[in-house]
A and B are shown apart, each in its own frame.
Chain A
């Protein structure tokens, strides 16, 4: 991990309207994430993990405070600027994979690059390389409906990584997977983190994922309860 700052959160608070009152999902969050970090947001349901990931991913904005991601202040981005930030700088991995069902594995991974300017030869090479990373090059023409859950999540990882983003946000990536597949996909991400020096931020409450994390941030009721670094049992993988 080098010292380049990827994410900086200053007093981030997020409130949602709840009837006539407001629900505070995040309260005064102050965090930074550097380049190449493999960190996780951990906590029970409703602790604010996903909300924090959404703000970092420019899918949402803080009610108060400031979120700076890849040098951009999320609070002040227009829809178009936020889309450009996600397009070039951030990869997403979702709990339910969110693959596009009518596309093949190849098309799903290629989709991320179609939003960018890239020649078809270069694009094809990048897609096949990404599928190689996750061991699915031989399933390129398959439809998502023919894949197992683990394979689908590996396609989602390939889609997130194919554009070589500086930051990958993974929201409960192992929640729908069995134990073997959970280990497998986290190991894959860990390997890519090391090889490509990409910053990974997870939200999880899965112990199998947590054991791979180099930094674990415990959230409770929208606040940072603990921020622990160096708890990684599999750093060498």
Chain B
């Protein structure tokens, strides 16, 4: 005599029992579906922010990659005075073809409204198109640049220095020999960007003008590489062989951003971990209660010829089916809601970009297939585990006690 049957029987029984439980099932399913949708929303928000921040940072600041002067450290102001050198000769044709663009940085002091503000003067080629900075404004009225230096600033800088387009601003700097000089720059344009690191305390002027002002002809602090040039550069060895210059790939340039997003994700995991725990606790509680109340049923299953393992399966499937139903229910109300949020975006208050990260006026969540799949797996696997744990008591249950409904 051999016990036959397929796993389908367990599923059939589990589904019948689950639907037979009525309201209790649907309460658990509803709580779990809320956790499921919120997890996707949270992750979608962070992924959406991450995508937007990465795209904007690449478009406005980092390009596809960069080559830095070996002394340059953007987080150490003391390095800036020394972090400059002549652009390697082999790059010059590529600069002319607008495949790469050099940037020179000099420390300076600005005097907006008679106040003193430390700023970075950044020289960039007005005709460059690699970065989205409106540098074209720096090239207008070039013939008059003897009279003034055209400059562009971001909205944050303009706001803090109370500058508007057309204003003159006195700046003072030291050239390569350490000699102080001062000139007025004229605000040719004010740009709005989501990337605060190219805005706060920064004044962009024509590269050649800055080289002339600082007596650093043909020099640069770093070179921004356009997307088209990345492959060419790879063939040349990523510029690592050039003495005095260091190649920084996209991963290195966006590391800080990735770290912040990872930290944000870590924090959000606590929130949705708590939500999921509440939902899973409800399932666990239901399973414990169910096994306690249905001992006679368990005994009957065994008496009718089921193995304990199959009975455990029935109860585990019952519990884990909560997650399947939660995903279905969550899809019904969650998909339209999440799509609406994706379409409209979540408005972000202007204060949030003071953290120094690229963040737009609104964030549109991004729901990747991988993220949705991993969330589904998380919910299904965790609910299966909490469904299984209480059922282990069945394996210790004596069928004779179970049939009598005797407490275990």
Contact = CB atoms under 8 A, between A and B. Distances in A.
Interface residues of B, number: 27
Contacts of A116: 4-5
A60 interface: yes
Contacts of A89: 1
B1 A84 contact: yes
B398 A60 contact: yes
A147 interface: no
Contacts of B16: 102-103, 107
Contacts of A87: 1, 3, 304-306
B304 A92 contact: yes
A115 interface: yes
B69 interface: no
Contacts of A102: 16-17, 19-21
Contact of B304 (A54, A79, A101, A112): A112
Contacts of A31: none
Interface string B296-317: 1101101111111000000000
Contacts of A115: 3-5, 9, 304-306
Nearest to A160: B304
Contacts of B306: 83, 87, 115
A98 B402 CA distance: 11
Given A102-B20, A116-B4, A117-B4, A83 B302 contact: yes
Contact of A86 (B304, B398, B400): B304
Nearest to B399: A59
A80 interface: yes
Interface of B: 1-5, 9, 12, 16-17, 19-21, 296-297, 299-300, 302-308, 398-400, 403
Interface of A: 54, 57, 59-60, 79-80, 83-89, 92, 94, 96, 98, 100-103, 107, 111-112, 114-117, 159
22 contacts: A59-B303, A59-B400, A60-B399, A60-B400, A79-B307, A83-B3, A83-B305, A84-B1, A84-B3, A84-B305, A86-B304, A87-B3, A87-B306, A98-B297, A98-B299, A101-B20, A102-B16, A111-B304, A114-B9, A114-B12, A115-B5, A115-B304
